[in-house]
Amino acid sequence: MTVANARASVNDASAITITPQSPTIGAVIGGLDLSCDLSDDATAVIRAALLEWKVLFFRDQDITTEDHLAFGRRFGELEIHPFGQGKSGHPEVLAIQHDEDSPGYENIWHSDVTWRLQPSLGSVLRLVEAPDIGGDTLFADMYAAYEGLPNDIKETIDGRVARHDFAGFRRGLRRRGATDEEVAEFDAKYPNPEHPVVRTHPETGRKAIYVNRAFTEEIVGMDKEESDALLERLYAQASFPEYQVRFSWAKNSIAFWDNRACQHYAVSDYWPQRRSAERVTVIGDTPYYDAEQIPVETTASPFRGAILRANRS
């Protein structure tokens, strides 16, 4: 997909511009006013761009909560987060606020809600209040992360599954005084799912690493030492700058990311300043691995140099 230069009315698909921010991940979307309804054609352009660039950025979108919800619903049903603080009157909107008394803690590579049996398709986050400096978010292309692995590691992980858990949220429940019975209710409602270590994207057919430091507990069928060592190797793949894009927020900036294809890391470097955001999350499907599924489109990796030499088997 190339950068568009057409000029047309607001939210006409032909007016949309797509400006890549790195070779494989991240693009700024222009020519849209998200306070207005999206046409079916405009929605299709955005979805195609999301599949290609994994995360999309929108600037200067002064929208209402209703606009935010309407945009998210163009891509599927929205979830209600069982552990986060919902916005009053809008349970699908997750309110995320950090300040002097509540420092940021999302500074860990992760894909959202992989502790669900059906984790999310994607998340749409709008920044309501930005710190004067800091508070960026990094996104990592987990297709590239998988493709950059040595062949022997790919052979080891292809077809395997890993157990995921909401352990951090469970600890939060206990800190807030939840009883054993209340915690047991959450355990029963959200049993530990086993997701493929390498996920096949249902729309692109591409393979991506689908374990993350926040929610993955173990690779099933391996002893703890082997599982821990292999997971550390896979987690480290997100840390290569070649696989990343970094987004600097401003008030009314929006990011829409594909949780099936990328991970993200919210930089916690702005304390004691205030950072306030609102997120809606689109419900996804059951992750799977299919060795036979052929990707819709393949391109040669642009990454060379030491990163390629280090990952040769």
Angle made by CA atoms 171, 225, 105, in degrees to the nearest 5: 30
Residue from 116, 164, 195, 264 carrying the catalytic annotation: 264
d(CA 195, CA 203): 18
Residue from 98, 110, 195, 206 carrying the catalytic annotation: 110
- Tokens describing residue 243: 């696989």
Q: For the chain, how many helices (H) and strands (E)?
A: 8, 16
Query: Is 264 in the active site?
Result: yes
Q: What is the CA radius of gyration of the chain?
A: 19
**Percent of the chain that is helix, strand, coil (3-state, to 5):** 25, 25, 50
d(CA 189, CA 167): 14
Supply the DSSP string of 300-312, one letter for each residue.
-----THHHHHT-
Identify whether the C-beta of residue 247 lies closer than 8 Å to the C-beta of residue 139: yes
d(CA 222, CA 45): 43
The residues, ordered by sequence, that sit 6+ positions from 288 with a Cβ below 8 Å of its Cβ are: 196, 199, 200, 202
- Tokens describing residue 44: 């299709």
Strand partners of residue 57:
28, 255
Other C-beta atoms lying within 10 Å of the C-beta of residue 103: 13
Residue from 81, 98, 201, 279 carrying the catalytic annotation: 279
Residue from 81, 98, 112, 260 carrying the catalytic annotation: 112
Where is 236: in which H helix or E strand? helix 224-236
Query: Is 112 in the active site?
Result: yes
Per the document, the length of the chain is 313
The answer for 146, left when phi > 0, alpha when psi is -120 to 50, beta otherwise, is: alpha
Which residues are catalytically annotated? 110, 112, 264, 279
